[in-house]
Structure 1
Amino acid sequence: MKAIVCKKYGLPSNLVYEDVTSPKPKDNEVLIKVKACGVNFPDTLIIQGLYQFKPNVPFIPGSDVAGVIKELGANVKHLKVGDEVFGFVMQGGYAKEVAIPANVCFKKPPKMDFSVAASFMIAYGTSYHALKDRAKLNEGETLLVLGASGGVGLAAIELGKLMGAKVIAAASSKEKLQLCKEYGADEVINYTKEDLKSKIKELTDGKGADVVYDPVGGDFSELALRGTAWEGRYLVIGFAAGQIPKIPLNLALLKGCSIVGVFWGNFAMKNPKGNMDNTLQLMKWMEEGRVQPHIHKIYPLEKAPLALEEMMDRKVRGKAVIQCS
């Protein structure tokens, strides 16, 4: 089968499009023929050896997959060959076929396009776990979303509104902020032109944000934490800026706030029932038309390096998707 292979850590241009052996599913896995794979910012870090875990090379990147079941592992009973599904795998998605754990593989609603299904699991799973389980976001609270025009950011805006919050979206351009408004943001901040901390205070009548959703890291993290309300919750989602900030911990003391880590992938593996409950709720909202991923562009499998380059260059709004078959 064809796949995108990372043979040495480095930039997307180092990736190789070549024939590899199709995987065999283990007892608790299913083999799917991949129709589409979502591109996520961690993919750009994993291929450079900069992510929290470093797979041994060579490996196939890609985690957010949708396709058709081709083969079942011996212990899999709730799925069958031919089922259209979407799911999550630690690596292997940029390929014609991939084996994924059955406990994070879900039947795709018939009306859901494969490209949408491949844009769903990580962005919405991460954002819902963050807001519901980690922040315990309450109706009437204020949610600040950094990097708000990205896949997880737009999902956080939609879910924050569904959960009854006032949502402030922060991003780096007028065009990105316009998309955030279309996804339901009540207020917006252009943090390349406005002072983030003072603007947060202005938009919250001096109180600050009850919950901060930060997938960016870098220079804006401390400013956002300084704009957090008393007993606020600061969600550490990721570091798209490429820099892991060093936070003065006295800020947590002075504000009585919590700095909360969010690692949806580990949550999904360690608490499959909780993840199943969350996914079923998200699928219900999807079928009702209350959430909808924004597809930036669909790339053929051999152009996956270009998709990753455009992700690194901050050209992607919403989700980029690799069409695998």
Structure 2
Amino acid sequence: MQAWQVHQNGEPGEVMRLDDLERPVPGEGQVLLRVRAANINFPDALMCRGLYQVKPPLPFTPGAEICGETQDGRRVLANPALPYGGFAEYAVADAGALLAAPDSLDDAEAAALHIGYQTGWFALHRRAGIEAGETLLVHAAAGGVGSAAVQLGKAAGATVIGVVGGADKAAVARELGCDVVVDRRTENVIGAVKEATGGRGADVIYDPVGGDAYTQSTKVVAFEGRIVVVGFASGTIPSAALNHALVKNYSILGLHWGLYNTKNPKLVQHCHEQLTDLAARGAIKPLVSERVPLEGAAAAVQRVADGVTTGRVVVVPTPGNGASA
């Protein structure tokens, strides 16, 4: 089979190499899956760079999220078990963690439903306890993780403010349903958010960026607001000023979605049922901006790493797999 492998750490476009390999052999409790579509996540780039909290031994195949097919023909969502990741024709995954792919989504859309939407659901509902009528601020609203949070916020009945970088991404954020879009390249984020909320600020802030975005969040969070930290795409991990959280009466919440797979897997299944229902009703639909063939995976991961993509970029190993359920 063909599979991308990382033999040394570095930039994805430089260190990912397409190799011919034997199909992986499942271990105890694992299953072999034919990859129908593999979604690209920012952590895939971090893993290539050796900067992610999970550091598989070299060489490894990246690709943390797939829509795959079991040997008995079932379409499933899975997080492949490293080092046999999803940017390949076949991957292995834990049998007990497989989730049924929603019938309402095609393979590429289904592949993009798992990590980003689970992260958004846990952040908004489990951690922040968002309520209808509240205001949600989403940083990087046109990106893969941000676009999921925008849709989930709208589905929860929130007013959604999306912060983006550039006119093209602003247009995408509007199409996603953002009630207010702020282009950080041409507007003052703090001033624009305060104006949009009548000076009150946002009740829930979803931050996958860190750095300056986090600093802005602390200046526009409402009384009893909640800032949910889900990642640091900017590359800068901020230090929280706890005295500021005290005097402004807001909460700083961390979310590491992967922990739920070991700490409370039943909640992951419950979340998937909620997402499947929302997808069936058309309330959410992953924004797949690109469907690339397997040979284009390295360049696509690099584009995601560089922050120039919108929505989700999905690798489709076999022509036709990404287009229909």
TM-score range, shorter chain: over 0.9
Shift in Å, 1:176: 0.8
Could you say which residue in structure 2 is the equivalent of 1:77? none
Could you say which residue in structure 1 is the equivalent of 2:163? 170
CA distance in 1, matches of 2:178, 2:60: 38
Could you say which residue in structure 2 is the equivalent of 1:59? 60
Give the one of 299, 302, 319 matched to 1:306: 299
1:317 aligns with 2:310: yes
Shift in Å, 1:90: 5.3
1:57-114 CA-to-partner distances (Å, cap 9, x unmatched) read 11111111012102xxxxxxxxxx2211112235411111111122331122344211
8 Å CA contact retained: 1:37, 1:62: yes
Could you say which residue in structure 2 is the equivalent of 1:45? 46
Shift in Å, 1:52: 2.1
CA distance in 1, matches of 2:142, 2:272: 22
CA distance in 1, matches of 2:151, 2:145: 10
Which AA in structure 1 matches 2:4? I
Which AA in structure 1 matches 2:56? P
CA distance in 2, matches of 1:89, 1:130: 23
CA distance in 2, matches of 1:215, 1:14: 25
Shift in Å, 1:308: 1.2
Which AA in structure 2 matches 1:197? I
1:242 aligns with 2:269: no
8 Å CA contact retained: 1:62, 1:90: no
8 Å CA contact retained: 2:15, 2:48: no
Give the one of 188, 198, 202 matched to 2:195: 202
CA RMSD of the aligned region, Å? 1.4
Q: 1:90 to 1:60 in 2, by over 3 A?
A: same
CA distance in 1, matches of 2:205, 2:75: 36
Could you say which residue in structure 1 is the equivalent of 2:321? none
CA distance in 2, matches of 1:250, 1:199: 25
Give the one of 194, 199, 215 matched to 1:222: 215
Q: 1:163 to 1:66 in 2, by over 3 A?
A: same
8 Å CA contact retained: 1:232, 1:255: no
Which AA in structure 2 matches 1:83? R
8 Å CA contact retained: 2:104, 2:279: no
CA distance in 2, matches of 1:255, 1:268: 34
1:22-74 CA-to-partner distances (Å, cap 9, x unmatched) read 2222332221100110001111111101112222211111111012102xxxx
Shift in Å, 1:251: 1.7
Could you say which residue in structure 1 is the equivalent of 2:276? 283
1:217-272 CA-to-partner distances (Å, cap 9, x unmatched) read 12221111221111111111111111212232222111221111111122133211
After TM superposition, list the pairs within 5 Å mapping 1:1-325 onto structure 2.
1-12=1-12, 13-70=14-71, 81-89=72-80, 91=82, 92-325=85-318
8 Å CA contact retained: 1:135, 1:233: yes
Which AA in structure 1 matches 2:73? G
CA distance in 1, matches of 2:96, 2:252: 30
CA distance in 2, matches of 1:299, 1:9: 23
CA distance in 2, matches of 1:269, 1:33: 25
8 Å CA contact retained: 1:196, 1:224: no
SS of the residue corresponding to residue 49 of structure 2 reads coil
SS of the residue corresponding to residue 52 of structure 2 reads coil
8 Å CA contact retained: 2:46, 2:52: yes
CA distance in 2, matches of 1:250, 1:46: 34
Which AA in structure 1 matches 2:116? A
Shift in Å, 1:198: 2.0
CA distance in 2, matches of 1:52, 1:202: 38
CA distance in 2, matches of 1:114, 1:136: 31
CA distance in 1, matches of 2:116, 2:210: 17
SS of the residue corresponding to residue 47 of structure 1 reads helix
The TM-score with structure 2 as length reference comes to 0.93
* Structure 1: gaps spanning 5 or more residues: 71-80
Provide the identity percentage.
Answer: 39
* Structure 2: gaps spanning 5 or more residues: 319-325
CA distance in 1, matches of 2:252, 2:260: 17
